[in-house]
Chains A and B, each alone.
Chain A
Amino acid sequence: MERERIIPMGTTAVMERTGETMEEMYVNMGPQHPSTHGVLRLLLKLDGEYITDCIPYIGYLHRCHEKIGENRNYTQVIPYTDRLDYLASMAMNFGYVLTIERLLGVKVPERAEYMRVILAELQRIASHLIWLGTFGLDLGNFTIFMYCFREREMVLDLFESVSGQRLNYNFYRIGGMPMDFPDTWVGECRAFLDWFEPRLPEYDAILTDNILFQKRVQGIGVLAPALAVDYGLSGPMIRACGIRWDLRRNDPYSIYDRFEFEVPVFDTCDVWARYMVRRREMAESARIVRQALAQLPAGDIMAKMPKNIKPPAGQIYCRTESPRGELGFYVVSDGSVKPYRYKVRSPAYVNLSALPEMLKGCLVADLVAVLGSVDIVLGEVDR
């Protein structure tokens, strides 16, 4: 077989084809690359090691989640939401279920609300742990990765004993929860928190207090607060720009208005700020779980629901605070058993769109840190 002759690099022929010049070169980062956290492709224009331009290409994991949702009934959509942000499935379930309940006007029993909050906050801890570990990995620190996974494993064990699953739980139902906590679960959860909270200073010792780490993350990937709002960033990304904006506080849903917790804010707007915000959020989530466990009431876990869920015709946009930011579900109902239109506003999708803005004047090594600080999950970006 005659193979096409391949032109060696650096020749004028390649330059003509790609528009490269002697000063600038194009590099495709991804779809297969250890630091793009999935199948993200970034087309980088490099001047030496400096990035002059960055174009993200997404959609490698696209499965038209919204079209699938329009062809399933309301309950059948829940397992699909698991696959959106597969590192925070509980939060995805929560957002979707809440949307449909608001559309139906259903009141969820107290105990179910508490269970939801406990699981969602544990999920936030697990999700931030994965983020912290992979962020350390991006910066060359392998050890923090294993430490974080050790703790995440414990959260997964807790989830497994509740739902039987370790990654895609499919555990929230429209109108409540399908199963109660196992008998010993509350004690196990307390034991986990007792173990977890002293681990946070350990992470500090290995990353936060490390001068090499600080040098790598301070002052890079800066995004001005006004731009962050303009781009519609949410979650830790906007809180790292000094804007105190947390939907659990500012647009309280479920029973979040009953708990005392801080919304950590940092105003240096750089990767360091995003790191610190997430690092503190883990402690705050643990605090919420503790309060919820203390207040956990007895009682029903499922509201009276019809067998066939048919919300009245109408539409709703409902937002919740997922670990990555504002998770919005926009559902249009025509009164039938399946949604007429079902749309997901995924936080990482919007946060990622500001990446080229943050990368101005960065080095290739910074790109890894900045991308890590955005905390994308491609399942949710590509949907």
Chain B
Amino acid sequence: MTTFASLVERFYALTANWGLPWIVPTLVVMTIVAAVILGYIAVACMFLVWWERKISAHIQVRFGPMRVGGWHGWAQSIADGVKLLLKEDVIPAGADKVVFVLAPMVVFAASVAAYVAIPWAPGLIVRDLNIGILYMISISSLVVVGIIMAGWSSNNKYSVLGAMRSAAQAVSYEVPLVLSLLGPVMLAGTMRMGKLVEAQSGVWFGLLPKWFVFPQIVAFLVYFTCSLAECNRLPFDIPEAESELVAGFHVEYSGMRFAIFFLAEYANMFVVAAIATTLFLGGWKGPWVALPGLPAEVAHGLFGLFWFLVKCYFLIFVMMWLRWTLARLRVDQLMDFAWKVLLPIAFANLILTGLVLVLGKQVLLYVLGVALLLLIAVALTARGVRQGSAHVAGKAVRAQKA
């Protein structure tokens, strides 16, 4: 089977024959990959910005950008990008210059690095690491380091507040996020992204695809909620809450540096959507047909890419939809929600998955039975307590009357 990895191997073998030192072909491959990924991110982010503006506009009974480029203002993002490039780059007096300059780079690098392990299509993955999912989670949570750098170095109190909120939020939401991802990982028995997708092949009852979203629906919902918080999207956008902190951590940034923050946010959105697609929605799995004039492998790859992108963009659409419908949470409610609601649910899901894997499916019956018994017991006790207290209260009233 032709995969990206095998192509790279063939290229290395070829160059070894020419007698070039090993560093040259490695650099060539790295440059090509980096260029393709950066190009994709730039184009995709511009599309996402335009798309988000259109979605928000149609939710809000208006049109959104309509002028630039003709059809529905498709070139609006390009014009905005050019404007941001040409803007003056302001570094506030009193800012910590080195950290201030580095911060957007850190944020962007962290978001981009996660693209290495995204399985785009069968065989099309830059590096199918054996700890792929772990790598993606850990590298993309480096974003918060950049945010704290930006907040602190700006010498602005609103930025500091935003950075502190971001740190608290990231730390809290990482935990249920990772726990929720462990469910599919346990089902598949691997952390390799390619294998995770392969583990979801086949159908149940001849109809329902064997995606992990069905057995792990709880984990999927927990993950999706946490991923909103990871991307600082509404209702979890408190680090940059516009009406409270003006713009939070990036309030002092302008021009290209601001654009990079913006780019990183949308790049990050795609990463979390890609993780959800890979682990829960069957990755690039989907119906495909052989295309005339193309090798079957290529056709399969193209269809895989298509399905993968469709699933990702659907999730991103849901994220935007939520953003333009909901109100923002408060910082303490946000923490409560992570630690008191999401974390217990994620743990319960994890334990249940483990029990099912070890003891077989019949354990579900036992769990259901125990839950039912517990429920009845709780209901009865509550009723008893209420009756008891009513009894006591009645006694007191009677005593008073007497």
Q: Tell me the A residues contacting B by CB distance below 8 Å.
A: 3, 6-9, 25, 27, 33-35, 48-49, 136-143, 145-147, 150, 206-207, 210, 212-213, 215-216, 363-368
Decide: B61 and A35 in contact? CB cutoff 8 A: no
Q: How many Å from the CB of A229 to the closest CB on chain B? A: 30
Give Cα distance in the complex from A293 to B332, angstroms.
49
Once the chains bind, are A215 and B329 in contact (CB under 8 Å)?
A: yes
Q: How far is the CA of A32 from the CA of B332 in the complex (A)?
A: 26
Whether the pair B242, A139 counts as a contact (CB closer than 8 A) is: no
In this complex, what residue of B is CB-closest to A35? Answer: B243
Given the interface contacts A25-B157, A150-B61, does A8 sit within 8 Å of B325 by beta carbon? no
**Are A368 and B327 touching (Cβ within 8 A)?**
no
**What is the distance, in angstroms, from A4's C-beta to the closest C-beta of chain B?**
9
Q: Is B331 an interface residue (CB 8 A)?
A: yes
Whether B329 pairs with A3 at a CB distance below 8 angstroms is no
Please report the C-alpha to C-alpha distance between residue A207 and residue B62 in the assembled complex, in whole angstroms: 20
CB pair A363 B330 closer than 8 Å: yes
Beta-carbon contact of B234 and A140 below 8 Å: yes
* Complex alpha-carbon distance, A332 and B238, angstroms: 51
Beyond the given A33-B246, A140-B242, A140-B327, could you list 12 further A-B residue pairs with CB under 8 A, ordered by the A residue number? Answer: A6-B94, A8-B96, A8-B155, A9-B157, A27-B161, A139-B327, A142-B324, A143-B324, A150-B61, A210-B326, A215-B330, A365-B328
Contact check, B330 vs A365: say whether CB atoms are below 8 A apart: yes
* Contact indicator B96/A216 (Cβ below 8 Å): no
A365 touches B324 (CB 8 A): no
Contact B330–A138 (Cβ < 8 Å):
no
Across the interface, do B328 and A216 meet the contact criterion of CB distance under 8 Å?
Answer: yes
Residues facing A in B117-170 (CB within 8 A) are: 155, 157-158, 160-161, 164-165
Residues A365 and B241 in contact in the complex (CB < 8 Å), given A6-B94, A7-B94: yes
Contact B325 A206 (CB under 8 A): yes
From the candidates A140, A150, A363, name the one contacting B235 in the complex (CB within 8 A).
A140
CB–CB A8/B243 < 8 A: no
Cβ of B17 under 8 Å from chain A: no
Q: In the complex, A140→B332 CA distance in Å?
A: 16
Report the bound CA distance from A3 to B94 in whole Å: 11
User: Which A residues are CB-close (under 8 A) to B332?
Assistant: 363
> Cβ of B333 < 8 Å from any Cβ of A?
yes
User: What residue of chain A has the Cβ atom nearest to residue B234's Cβ?
Assistant: A140
- How many chain B residues sit at the interface, stated as a range, is 35 or more
- Contact A365 B94, CB 8 Å, known A140-B243, A142-B324: no
B60 adjacent to chain A (CB < 8 Å): yes
24 inter-chain pairs at a CB distance below 8 angstroms, sorted by A residue, are A3-B93, A6-B94, A9-B157, A27-B157, A33-B246, A34-B242, A49-B161, A139-B243, A140-B234, A140-B242, A140-B326, A140-B327, A141-B325, A147-B61, A212-B327, A212-B329, A215-B329, A216-B327, A216-B330, A363-B331, A364-B244, A365-B238, A365-B244, A367-B244
Q: Are A365 and B331 in contact (CB under 8 A)?
A: yes
Known: A8-B94, A25-B157, A363-B332. A141 touches B244 (CB 8 A): no
B60 touches A147 (CB 8 A): yes
Query: What separation, in Å, do the CA atoms of A363 and B164 have in the docked complex?
Result: 14
Which A-B residue pairs are the 8 nearest by beta carbons?
A140-B328, A146-B60, A6-B94, A141-B327, A35-B243, A139-B327, A365-B330, A138-B243
Contacts of A142 in B (CB 8 A): 56, 60, 324
Contact status A364-B161, CB under 8 Å? yes
CB-defined contacts of B82 to chain A, threshold 8 Å = none
Residue of B60, B158, B243, B246 with most partner-chain A CB within 10 A: B243
Q: With a CB–CB cut-off of 8 A, which chain B residues contact A35? A: 243-244
A146 touches B61 (CB 8 A): yes
Q: Complex: how many Å from CA A25 to CA B165?
A: 16
Question: In the complex the two chains form, what is the Cα distance from A213 to B235 in whole Å?
Answer: 10
- The answer to whether B230 has its CB under 8 Å from any CB of chain A is no
Report the bound CA distance from A106 to B242 in whole Å.
Answer: 51
Instruction: Give the residue name and chain of the A residue nearest to B247 (CB).
Output: A34
With a cutoff of 8 Å between Cβ atoms, the chain B residues found around residue A27 in the complex are: 157-158, 161
CB distance from B196 to the nearest CB of A (A): 33
Chain B stretch 38-66: residues in CB contact (< 8 A) with chain A: 56, 59-62
- Distance, CA A3 to CA B93, complexed state (A): 10
Chain B nearest CB from A376 CB (Å) reads 15
CA separation between A140 and B325, bound complex, in Å? 9
CB distance from B167 to the nearest CB of A (A): 13
Q: How far is the CA of A32 from the CA of B60 in the complex (A)?
A: 26
Alpha-carbon separation in the docked complex, A311 to B320 (Å): 61
Query: Which residue of the partner chain A has the closest CB to B168?
Result: A49
Residues of chain B with a CB closer than 8 A to A25's CB: 157
CA distance in complex: A367, B245 (Å): 11
A49 to B93, CA, bound (A): 26
Separation of A213 and B56 alpha carbons in the complex (Å): 19
User: A9 with B330: in contact, given A34-B243, A140-B243 (CB under 8 Å)?
Assistant: no
